[in-house]
Structure 1
């Protein structure tokens, strides 16, 4: 007699997460990788164009570095007289360049999470596949939470992986340029920069993003579960229309606030909290100074994790949780379009 294997709730939830990944692999994985690849291609084109321009300038005698005319781009010669202070500044510039080189997958993430949440509960009602999933031994709570985890954990984790791959791909690219022009990439590129610290910062940012994006994810999932049609218009126009009404009648004056507060702390939090980096606008205290070093310190792992102490973040988590509960309630009671 064959033994019957029962799937635990945790096991079912793992399968739901796998389902979300496989059904949305294009947005979760391919999109950030393609974005990173495009950024590397554009960087390569810019490097090639710069090298060609430098070579032509050298041939015409127009290439000057520190007031000295040079007839070629010999990085070994140009960098051998750099002082420790010069190398420190060069390293800061390299770190900022590496940080920027890894940004494209995060830009893609903003669009992926927004439209994934918007269609997560609406699409299966539209194509009636919701009836199939409701016939399975899967609760609506598990379904909604699996989509939430897909948006706030799986998607940003894969975007971070794509960003780190892109960053190291960029380092390899410029290392080859340095090597072919008389420089030592190990000392000039790898020793002067901190790519592993930047990678650690990206990884430390994931839990901050997951919590910070809760209001937007919850709001979009609620609209996805509620809207009979055009969830995008409902999700966007309701907060915007509320902002217009509040501004028009100057409602916030009743609370001693201006209309800008409503746009920044309500409308923006509902629609833009899933945008990577938006939390920097609400960070308190903000890193002081405008130097490259100060900006880089603002992205360190410790500063990223310190963002978990921001009261604005936790208010958003509570609001997002309320939206999620409402989305689960609607999911349990509606399967129509």
Structure 2
């Protein structure tokens, strides 16, 4: 077990640039520009503070949701390239023979990579995201103070919003990782076989499979097949908009517990289980190819 944790830690060390250093630099740059803007334009800062008091709860909730969505998109982007490139890193840097000399199977090595993609790597971005949002909330509250409208009750309300939205962010992040696990595993398995060519092949493969079904079974066009419809369903996180629509329409206040309960109840857990089985299967096949290819 210690060897497995060491393998996961190795993945973080080798890829901390994309999952920790770059996000921290990005947060620093954006925060510096924000401070510079409010420092040089004091009048606009006062005006912004007055706007924040019009609907403070909605503004902070929407701000948290928007920024967390941006971080989720960034995470999806870097995880895709990590799986396409990181699973072939041992072969590229001539470390294959070293790992072959260790009492660690190829399947365990690939399993450590996908584990890192589900835990420590997104965990680093999640922590940086919370820091960035905290800084954003701090700047927003300071602008209300500049406008002379900041008070303790508003600060307490902002802290409550931050705690609720952070919990929602965590739940959505975990569910998104589980939902897209088969995609990550497939790209990683392809990376173990063809290296960086997994990036274009991963984008081409769904279209090829859909066209193959269209040619053999028929249909209106290559993108109106059962395969394409299923992949389209699996490409979108199954989030029910009903509750959030009521919140944004002002019918009820946002409540993290109600949102999470509604979200988890309507989540397609059967597909998550199917995706986990698929991920383990393709990783096992990739490990067998990796083991035999290394021998030859």
**TM-score bin (small chain):** 0.7 to 0.9
Tell me how far 1:176 sits from its aligned partner.
Answer: 1.4
Q: Does 1:283 align with 2:250?
A: no
Report the CA distance shift for 1:228/1:111 in structure 2 as closer, same or farther (over 3 A): closer
CA distance in 2, matches of 1:176, 1:35: 21
- Aligned with 1:162: secondary structure? helix
* CA displacement, residues 260-314 of structure 1 (integer Å, 9 cap, x when unaligned): 6533422674xxx5xxxx41xx335854736426795689433444465543333
Tell me how far 1:205 sits from its aligned partner.
Answer: 2.9
Q: Does 1:18 align with 2:9?
A: yes
Which residue is 1:125 aligned to?
91
CA distance in 2, matches of 1:220, 1:93: 38
Report the CA distance shift for 1:155/1:301 in structure 2 as closer, same or farther (over 3 A): farther
Report the CA distance shift for 1:253/1:41 in structure 2 as closer, same or farther (over 3 A): farther
- Aligned with 1:259: secondary structure? coil
> Which 5+ residue runs of structure 1 have no aligned equivalent?
1-9, 56-71, 80-85
- Aligned with 1:109: secondary structure? helix
CA distance in 1, matches of 2:70, 2:10: 26
Identify which of 183, 187, 193 aligns with 1:216: 183
CA RMSD of aligned residues (A): 3.6
Whose helix fraction is larger, Structure 1's or Structure 2's?
A: 2
Report the CA distance shift for 1:104/1:285 in structure 2 as closer, same or farther (over 3 A): closer
TM-score where L is the length of structure 1:
0.72
Report the CA distance shift for 1:51/1:234 in structure 2 as closer, same or farther (over 3 A): same
Instruction: Kindly indicate whether the alpha-carbon contact (under 8 Å) linking 1:33 and 1:105 is maintained by their aligned counterparts in 2.
Output: no
Report the CA distance shift for 1:44/1:153 in structure 2 as closer, same or farther (over 3 A): same
* CA displacement, residues 195-231 of structure 1 (integer Å, 9 cap, x when unaligned): 0011111222343133112111110111012216622
Instruction: Kindly indicate whether the alpha-carbon contact (under 8 Å) linking 2:106 and 2:290 is maintained by their aligned counterparts in 1.
Output: yes
Which residue is 2:204 aligned to?
237
Which structure: larger Rg?
Answer: 1
Which residue is 1:30 aligned to?
21
TM-score where L is the length of structure 2:
0.81
Report the CA distance shift for 1:336/1:34 in structure 2 as closer, same or farther (over 3 A): farther
Which residue is 2:284 aligned to?
325
CA distance in 2, matches of 1:135, 1:152: 27
- Aligned with 1:219: secondary structure? helix
Report the CA distance shift for 1:178/1:260 in structure 2 as closer, same or farther (over 3 A): farther
* CA displacement, residues 93-135 of structure 1 (integer Å, 9 cap, x when unaligned): 3211122233333222112110111112222213321111111
Tell me how far 1:321 sits from its aligned partner.
Answer: 2.4
Report the CA distance shift for 1:147/1:229 in structure 2 as closer, same or farther (over 3 A): closer
Q: Does 1:312 align with 2:268?
A: no
> How many residue pairs align between the two structures?
291
CA distance in 1, matches of 2:49, 2:174: 44
> Which 5+ residue runs of structure 2 have no aligned equivalent?
none
Deviates more, 1:100-109 or 1:298-307: 298-307
